[in-house]
Structure 1
Amino acid sequence: MNINYRQLIFAREYRGLTQTELACKIDGLSQSNLSKFEKGVETLSEELIEKIILFLDFPKGFFSKRISTVIENAHYRKRSGITKKLKTEFEYSTKLVGYIVDSMAESIQWPEFKLKTFDLEEGFSPEYAAQHTRKMLNLKADEPVRNIFHLLEQSGILIVEISADMKFDAVTIQTDEGYPVIILNKHYPNDRKRYNLGHELGHLIMHVIGNIAIPESRNNTKQKESEANRFAAEFLMPSESIRNSLKGLRLSYLAELKRYWLTSMSSIIRRAKDLDCITEDRYKYLNMEFSRRGFRKNEGLNVFIDSPVAFYKGYDLHKTDLEYSDKELSDAFCLPQSIIEDFCTVKPSNGKLRLIL
């Protein structure tokens, strides 16, 4: 059987197994032989390969694939609290989402990516990129980004919400076939989802799409995160429109500002500081009061957010118009049926996609 050893590593680590743990489950398999096989320096018998595939519960066809989607700009809330096992499991889940997007593209036409990308080395700032992007989305200068999922999806960005460890916020990928995808933790409050979407949009148009060459001086996590944060703040709370309302900011103003801009109170406080609308001392005082009143854990006010539809509409088209069952999709995509069901759960959708005839 011709299998790609990298795909075996993929399936093993997705299942959360070390080489030793897998070897202990398979009669006749040693950790040493498995290690050599996964390095591409030794073969395994057909019998052992069959046992491994059966145990890992992935279709045989999966092991001849090559999923190489690069994980860009994974945004973790508290990196120090994430175990290697959790991080690996999440990153393989992300790669599987990208692979499903590409597999669906053989039958349906995803929206075309329409936004302009920005090379900051050419003199553009994250703020300028955000302002221009708002114009491309036909947002007025003083208008909040209300239907944020819809706006990004109609611009050709697929968004998938998954259940993930609470320390994970969002991640940006470009699939092997070139489709831009934002993968979002669905368990967070709507205001935080909005900020995460703005943040990842910044990564997409400044760091990911268009083969932008980033010099070593900027090609590090801290710098790129700072640029994405600046983009998100300007995209969601345009400086020229929000500045006057942040001067002399008081705690009593925060709820109304949050209702209008649909962003968290904590991000509004930070915005006031960054735009020099409050002093450093005032910023510290507001944060202390914010924490003392318990707003750090729960701001007590949720905001509107719409829902992503395009990816789920793609799944729905396969089920309805193309009349695939989940089992048939599992066979067609060479994935366990449980993965199809976990990632593609249908949501109410009126999105518009076209079948490729």
Structure 2
Amino acid sequence: MKDKELTYNDIYVLAEMAKEKRRELDIGLSPMGDNILKFIREKGIKLIYMAIENNGDDDLFFSAVYVCLNEDGTKYKFIGLNTNDYYDNQIFALAHELYHYYEETNIHLCRISNDDNSLRELKANRFSAEFLLPTEKLEKEIKNVNKGKINLGSWKHATLLRLIARLHCEYRLPYKAIVRRLLEIEAIAEPQYIDLYKENTRSIDSDYYIIGESINPEIFKVLNSKTKKIGVDGNDLENIVANYEEDIISMKELIDSLDMFDKKFKEFGIEEYVDISDLEDMSDMFEDEAYES
């Protein structure tokens, strides 16, 4: 039994909040999916990709972190995302961190197995689920395939797996999050929930994986892959290059910045010329390195 649970009012407030934020992208009840990256960009949040290995303890597995720094009255907002995780979990973690952005926290660390007894985390997870797949849309999806009824109590296990796999591919919500959503809206009963939750969905030999691949093989494989991307969002790299081209930063600063993300200036079509000040900067750098060695 959970120590804390969301109240009906909490659920209502979070659903309305998710609707309001979705309106900013003008997508109505359409799938959010990868649009969440555009949404984060438009909020002025810098997205940093990291591939951090699991230390073997799932409870300590880093998923994402939201950080807000206030410097001279200016707020700098970042989300660090662990890309050594399945892509559908990455999307859910981003939506989770958006909740902490809206509650104006300064720093928040998200793990895959969040403390279900934490009211704050329950709210963030519920917001994430509503943001990616609104209750209104989920209920409509079910009624469309269930003769207008919301209750799926008579459905066979395999039939439920097919429904979940389709929702998984269309809305990019992780399998277990969809199963929780079905229980939350009372579409399935507790015994069905337990059976569904036990599925080893990441195994390529599992019934669910075979069903998912048959529905949408390309999308399903992406959602079940670890991207292991490293660096920053493409738009932020463009800003760094633009700062160089506008003489806001030197070539040395450009090279140093791009090198942090394993990028070279040649990849951006920059003309290869170096002015005297750049040569002096790089000469000082090499002298410092030689001195330290």
What is the CA-CA distance between 1:140 and the residue it aligns to?
0.9
Match of 2:48 in 1: 160
Q: Aligned residue for 1:313?
A: 238
Determine helix, strand or coil for the equivalent of 2:63.
strand
| Equivalent AA in structure 1 for residue 134 of structure 2 | P
Q: Which amino acid aligns with 2:63?
A: D
- Residue in 2 aligned with 1:205? 102
Q: Pairwise mapping of residues 56-135 of structure 1 onto structure 2 (< 5 A)?
A: 125-135=13-23
Count of equivalent residues:
212
Q: 1:122-141 deviations in whole A, cap 9, x for unaligned? A: 99822221111011221212
Bigger drift between 254-263 and 317-326 goes to: 317-326
Question: Is the alpha carbon distance of 1:123 and 1:270 closer, same or farther for their aligned partners in structure 2, counting shifts above 3 Å?
Answer: closer
Q: Which of 134, 137, 140 is the matching residue for 1:238?
A: 134
CA distance in 1: counterparts of 2:221 and 2:38, whole angstroms: 19
1:302–1:233: structure 2 CA closer, same or farther, 3 Å change rule? same
Deviates more, 1:231-240 or 1:145-154: 145-154
Give the deviation of 1:312 after TM superposition. 2.0
Relative to 1, partners in 2 of residues 1:346 and 1:259: Cα closer, same or farther, differing over 3 Å?
Answer: farther
1:238-279 alpha-carbon deviations (Å, 9 max, x no partner): 000112434427012222211211222222111111221111
Aligned sequence identity (%): 23
Is residue 181 of structure 1 aligned with residue 78 of structure 2?
Answer: yes
Matched, 1:253 2:163: yes
> Using a 3 Å threshold, how does the CA distance of structure 1 residues 150 and 346 change in structure 2: closer, same or farther?
farther
Question: Does 2:224 correspond to 1:302?
Answer: no
- AA aligned to 2:221 is N
Distance change >3 Å, CA 297–CA 148, structure 1 → 2:
same
- 2:218 paired with 1:322: no
Change (3 A) 1:142 1:324: closer
The one-letter code sitting in structure 2 at the alignment partner of 1:342 is M
CA distance in 2, matches of 1:190, 1:346: 26
How many Å apart are 1:340 and its aligned residue? 6.3
1:1-31 residue CA offsets vs partner (Å, 9 max, x unmatched): xxxxxxxxxxxxxxxxxxxxxxxxxxxxxxx
In 2, the alpha carbon distance for the partners of 1:245 and 1:122 equals 24
What is the aligned counterpart of 1:227 among 123, 146, 149?
123
Question: Which of 68, 79, 93 lines up with 1:196 in the alignment?
Answer: 93
Q: Structure 1 CA distance, aligned partners of 2:264 and 2:28?
A: 33
CA RMSD of aligned residues (A): 3.8
TM-score, normalization by structure 2: 0.60
Name 2:193's counterpart in structure 1.
283
Deviation at 1:287, TM superposition (A): 1.7
Distance 1:261 1:123, change over 3 A: closer
Distance 2:127 2:10 in 1: 16
5+ unaligned residues in a row in structure 2: which ranges?
Answer: 1-8, 55-60, 107-115, 143-149, 153-158, 214-219, 269-293
Once the two structures are superposed, what CA deviation does each residue of 1:181-234 show, in whole Å capped at 9, x if it has no partner?
Answer: 11111222221111011000011102427xxxxxxxxxx992221111011000
TM-score (norm 1): 0.50
CA distance in 1, matches of 2:18, 2:177: 17
